[in-house]
Amino acid sequence: MLPPIYTILSTNTAVKNIVSTRIYPHSEAPQDVARPYVTWFLVADTPENNLSELPDIDRQALQIDIWAESGSAAVQLASAVRNAIEPHAHVTNIALNGREPETGLYRFAIQIDYWLSR
């Protein structure tokens, strides 16, 4: 099961005002998509095991990538995404902050832990 990242981000007013519905799973955006946009992917899905029964919750580690044509646009979107996510999950790392050489786009990579009931 995947966490409701799309729902969390697409219903947040600040994020929606910047990217509309340009939020894509599996770290894949359509070719020539309008910018800025967000991609995300599941890094790990770890059950919270116990000895007496099946796990009732999974810790899911995700990476959310922010893509924009300018550094200031990337900062604005990264801030909106972080503020939208933090009521639902723990931000654990800002892994990347720079310009992606192949596309020339500015990128932030935000890593989060999300707990999903099973």
Is 51 domain-assigned? no
Is 96 domain-assigned? yes
* pLDDT above 80 (res 1): no
For 29, list phi and psi in degrees, rounded to 5. -105, 150
pLDDT for 94-112, tens place per residue?
988 889 998 899 999 999 9
* pLDDT above 80 (res 63): yes
Is 62 domain-assigned? yes
Is 68 domain-assigned? yes
Is 72 domain-assigned? yes
**CATH code of the domain containing 109:** 3.30.2000.10
Q: 18 lies in which domain range?
A: 5-46+56-117
12 to 8, 9, 44, 103: CA distances (angstroms): 6, 5, 25, 27
Q: What is the arithmetic mean of pLDDT over 56-76?
A: 94
Q: What is the arithmetic mean of pLDDT over 30-34?
A: 94
Cα 50 to Cα 73: distance, rounded to the nearest angstrom = 44
Q: What is the arithmetic mean of pLDDT over 16-26?
A: 97
Is 73 domain-assigned? yes
Q: Which residue has the higher pLDDT, 84 or 102?
A: 84
Give the number of domains in the chain.
Answer: 1
